Structure 1
Amino acid sequence: MQFLALALLAASVVVVADTENEGHHGGTKPWVKDFKNLVAFGDSYTDESRLNYFYAHNGSAPPPGLLLPENNFTSGGGFTWDRWVSNYTGAKLYNYAVSGAVCDNNIIYRYLSYIHGPFPDVVYEVDAFKADIAYINASTGTNTLYTDRKADNTVYSMWIGTNDLGDSAFMTDSQVNHTTIPDYIDCIYDRFDSIYAAGGRYFVLMNTAPLELSPLYGLPEDGGLSTSRYWPNKTSSGGNVTEISYKMKEYTQLVNTVFDYRTPYELLVAKRYPGASIAVFDTNAFLSDVYYHPDKYLTAPANVTGAYWVCNDASACTASAVGLDHYLWYDDLHPSEKTDEAIAHEFVSVVTGTSKFATYW
């Protein structure tokens, strides 16, 4: 009954939002008029250099004030979507995403021996951002990292959930501290609190991808794998590939439905972020469109069920003889560089306020 009441309340404020922001929802007016900076948070779908820094420095984090370099040696086999956005628009990219990240290590704890601790989480990422905006260069007496960050020219993106919902997480009942999926969702809005307090006013919440379409979580008849280097004991420990795929779809759809209702509630009813705007980018629907209509996005003949980079184990991997631009998936879990290009094009449309895959609040 409480959820129904919330749904009805959120539905009622949609009318108010549409009236107050006529032309704002997919209209001709730009959402962000002067897009100068993209500040990105997330996991391997977004990271390009940060986990590499931890690897190269014995688990130590990048110091405040350091802008990490552009990098095309990523989990997707090339440039990530946020780098493409920067290249297309000229916006400066500040990338805090860490491959393997979850929202909060107090909910999902995944240890990485190479850095002698858990994968850095989004809690760390936002704290790193806050340290960077507070950084003062000793030589200049100014912040030499963020030189043109304003409320109306900076977009903050959040794309997190793949590792929270998957293997060694909620999928396998591996969460800690008696936590639940709503705790993971709370973590996202809590991080928006911190970014908002630091001056953020334009947020893009990228919802969870259709992971049930990936080789790692797909149905057997659609290329779903019984084992993977990301989940070696997927079926040997009693798992059922079909059941896992349906469960993953249930999780992602549940989370995305909560995003759809909670976002307008927090903004328009709870007044949690006065003066701010959140665009919910339906990356689930967008990547599903790539899956079901690949010729609009990928080079023909398109392959949406298999992976370009196929690994029998962590050390025995081979690349497809067909180019990466034909593939939706780079490997068992990660979108390819070509898919990232497509995401970037749509993200630019989100920022300009014209995306049919976004809802603006």
Structure 2
Amino acid sequence: MCSLLCPDLFLLKTLAGSQKVETKPRIAFGDSYTYVQGTHGHQNYSFIGDQFNYAYDAQTLPSDMIVQNQTATAEGGPNWIEYLTNCGVQPGITSPLSCKKQLWDFAFAGADISTEYTPLHHNFTVSLVNQITQFKEYGHATISHILPATDTLIATWIGINDVGDSSKYPVHFPTFYKNLTSTLFTSIDGLYTLGYRSYLLLDLPPLDRTPGNRATSTPHPNATQVDWYNDALRSGAELFAKRRDVEVRVFDAHARLNGIMDHPGQYGMVNMTGFCAGYDQPDIELNYEDYGCPVPLDEYFWFNSRHLTSHVHRILAEELDEWLQG
């Protein structure tokens, strides 16, 4: 169990003529921790399309806009990938094309890695495997005219739903997570064949410390399950990094987020154990006390039962940005 003790992984090889990783545009895949709302997306779930609206033409993707408002992410405000790129952070709509570090975000809220292991949350959900397949079939041809693959960072944060949905399965979890992450990297390998060489992955947050899990003596998932998945992710990254001319980075989000929870005062936060019941009300920013919340949302760690506040995402993005520049 080394999630708190293992260093971040820098599995790097020098790429001739490559941009510094911190300056590269981002293509993102994942779940609700990463999804951004798009004008061509499924409301509250995606930037573009869904499982029933899977295909799109060469004009649709470049015309898509990132929406920023209270309901445009799962955090009530910008999330880590928006803060990291400074793309789509301002209220309103933003074209990724207008950003200095472009963000093309194909994450789908509620996604797991593959239906081979866990069922879809909704019949319109696009799994991680299908996000990448969709991108290969419809997105890459368009994006490749905008961003050279060799100068683009692929950012992926996935596994949160997988570990939660499967936490009570009657399986040998280290083997199960090894198979899960093997499928993840097999899917990512499809991006490698398209010429993408720079990859960033984030490990799991401390899901054993969600408000619901804190309230029980038998959390699902528990800390051991989270550690096992994170170990499997690192092992998979090490194998993937053996490919020619590839950069693979695994950021220890788990350790950073535990650090915030253990030292909240350093980050201007007060409540690490619960969330504001009125988090989704339109006037919550100004009138939080009307909903029985003693402090503003920015002073909570948890936005709701499973998601982090936008403030926590900003802190995480700042630490990630500093790490990428290190």
State the TM-score, normalized to the length of structure 2.
0.75
Letter in 1 for 2:217: T
Q: What is the CA deviation profile of residues 147-178 of structure 1, one whole-angstrom value per residue up to 9, with x for unaligned ones?
A: 13241x31111111111011xx2113299xxx
Instruction: Specify the alignment match of 1:171 in structure 2.
Output: 167
Q: Match of 1:44, as an amino acid? A: S
- In the alignment, what sits opposite 1:277? 247
Consecutive unaligned residues of structure 1, counting only runs of 5 or more, are 1-13, 22-29, 136-142, 221-240, 312-316, 355-361
What does residue 35 of structure 1 align with?
23
Q: Which moved more, 1:77-86 or 1:57-66?
A: 57-66
Find the counterpart in structure 1 of residue 212 from structure 2.
216
Note closer, same or farther for the CA distance 1:321–1:292 as it changes in structure 2 (3 Å cut): same
CA distance in 1, matches of 2:246, 2:55: 29
Within the candidate set 8, 11, 32, 1:44 is matched to 32
What is residue 130 of structure 1 aligned with on the other side?
136
Contact 1:37 1:149 in 2 (8 A): no
RMSD, aligned CA: 3.2
Whether the 8 Å CA contact 2:110–2:121 is kept in 1: the answer is no
SS in structure 1 of the partner of residue 254 of structure 2 = helix
8 Å CA contact 2:75, 2:309 repeated in 1: yes
Distance 1:40 1:148, change over 3 A: same
Query: Percentage identity across aligned positions?
Result: 21
1:258 CA drift (Å): 2.3
Q: Does 1:80 align with 2:76?
A: no
Task: Identify the residue that residue 251 of structure 1 maps to in structure 2.
Answer: 225
Judged with a 3 Å threshold, the aligned counterparts in structure 2 of structure 1 residues 96 and 170 are, in CA distance, closer, same or farther, namely: same
2: CA distance, partners of 1:275 / 1:196: 10
**Cα distance in 2 for residues equivalent to 1:350 and 1:93:** 19
CA distance in 2, matches of 1:64, 1:248: 43
Once the two structures are TM-superposed, the CA of residue 146 in structure 1 deviates from its matched residue by 4.8
Measured against aligned partners, the alpha-carbon deviations of 1:240-276 in whole angstroms (never above 9, x if no partner) come to x31225x521111011122333422442xxx3x2110
Q: 1:345 aligns with which of 289, 310, 318?
A: 318
Rounded Cα–Cα distance in structure 2 between residues aligned with 1:278 and 1:54: 31
Choose 1 or 2 for highest CA Rg: 1
Residue 158 of structure 1 contacts residue 204 of structure 1 at CA under 8 Å; is this kept in 2? yes
Gap change, CA 1:146 and 1:105, over 3 Å in 2: farther
What is aligned with 1:306? Answer: 274
Compute the displacement of 1:144 (Å).
6.8
Change (3 A) 1:82 1:207: same
Q: Which runs of 5+ in 2 are unaligned?
A: 1-8, 88-98, 280-289
| Alpha-carbon distance, 1:310 to partner | 5.3
Indicate conservation of the 8 Å contact 1:31/1:351, yes or no: no
